[in-house]
Structure 1
């Protein structure tokens, strides 16, 4: 999945000469947390967050409600340079940027730094739900397997033999043991018992569910 498929194209922006007061109003009215700052060519030159605006706003203990701080221009508080991503970047790769840099959003740009969208933490979480198949009524199965070529289609064939549809497949490392992997399947059946028994009969170790006994010898 690429960024272009999940980004928000309807992006609210401000110019560097707009006031902090305008930024505060824009954040509140639109119920958003971040605003990219663009120049006359719609190129990203900065970004502000609701936290930036709160930090720049006057204290509630000040007598004047028309404090001069709110009249300052946005460029005085915006963050720059801005980390951006491209529409053709893979979602899995930019997830690492969110995690390592602790960002809450990333502007999406094309050539010449032109803004074409924005992607947020919420977008990433929604995508994770879709990738893992948890938005579909399904059963969850985890299988410990040797880390060797061909093991995924080998295990998947067991589901195929039962005519069970696989909603999603994920592959995880098994603890610190590089000799094994964990295959996580979500399958469209509310009665996974026959498949579970087939997996055990084939000699696979189930990590989940692990409270269903194997077939009797």
Structure 2
């Protein structure tokens, strides 16, 4: 999955000469936490957050003076940490964690802004990759960290009519074992557990299946 698959294309932007009051109003009306700042050719020159604008406006003079004397370029942050559209999604996540930021402008090689990607976009992809919206059985198993183990596991599941619809690996015992979190459809819980436990090298750590939601009346919130 690449950044371009999850980013918001053609985001709302400000210009360096924009009025900070107008920028704050745009954040409030659109629910934006950050707005890219671009020049007349659409090249990214900075970014401004709602908090930046709020702090700036709290110490600013009257609105009339603000509109005459102050511009977004005085508030924006520059240079900006960015990603390219063809960056892996996990690289965008790594940059957000490393720099403790909630979103990244997406720019082309020539510096033109083409999108923005946020933590919410990455969370949504994470949930989708784990099959959160797929009616299936979720299980975590520990297997030896060596070639062929995933293929063996997949074969056992397929042998009882099951299908792995998602898999995520974690290697806490690098070189010794790895934990695999699987979403499996088409197999019953007990049948699946029996098939996996037939292999002494497989340890079932956790099994979970979403229970059907129950509609509740008279609860309007």
**How high is the TM-score relative to the length of structure 2?**
0.87
- Which structure 2 residue ranges, 5 or more long, are not aligned? 209-221
| Corresponding residue SS for 2:176 | strand
Tell me, yes or no, if the aligned pair for 1:169 and 1:185 is still in contact at 8 Å: yes
Tell me, yes or no, if the aligned pair for 2:145 and 2:174 is still in contact at 8 Å: no
1:110 aligned residue:
108
Tell me, yes or no, if the aligned pair for 2:12 and 2:35 is still in contact at 8 Å: yes
1:101 aligned residue:
99
For 1:48-197, list aligned pairs within 5 A. Answer: 48-58=48-58, 66=63, 68-69=65-66, 72-174=70-172, 176=173, 178-189=175-186, 191-197=188-194
1:42 aligned residue:
42
Tell me, yes or no, if the aligned pair for 1:17 and 1:75 is still in contact at 8 Å: yes
- Which structure 1 residue ranges, 5 or more long, are not aligned? 211-217
Number of residues of Structure 1 aligned to a counterpart in Structure 2? 206
| Corresponding residue SS for 2:16 | coil
Tell me, yes or no, if the aligned pair for 1:141 and 1:208 is still in contact at 8 Å: yes
Distance in 2 between residues matched to 1:100 and 1:88, nearest whole Å: 20
Tell me, yes or no, if the aligned pair for 2:162 and 2:187 is still in contact at 8 Å: no
1:206 aligned residue:
204
| Corresponding residue SS for 1:13 | coil
2:30 aligned residue:
30
Deviations 1:53-87 (A, max 9, x none): 1111126xx9x863745652001110110111011
Distance in 2 between residues matched to 1:189 and 1:56, nearest whole Å: 57
Deviations 1:127-179 (A, max 9, x none): 111111112122111111111011111111111111112121010023x5541
Deviations 1:15-72 (A, max 9, x none): 001011110111112121110000111000100111111111126xx9x863745652
**How high is the TM-score relative to the length of structure 1?**
0.88
Distance in 2 between residues matched to 1:190 and 1:154, nearest whole Å: 17
Distance in 1 between residues matched to 2:136 and 2:169, nearest whole Å: 18
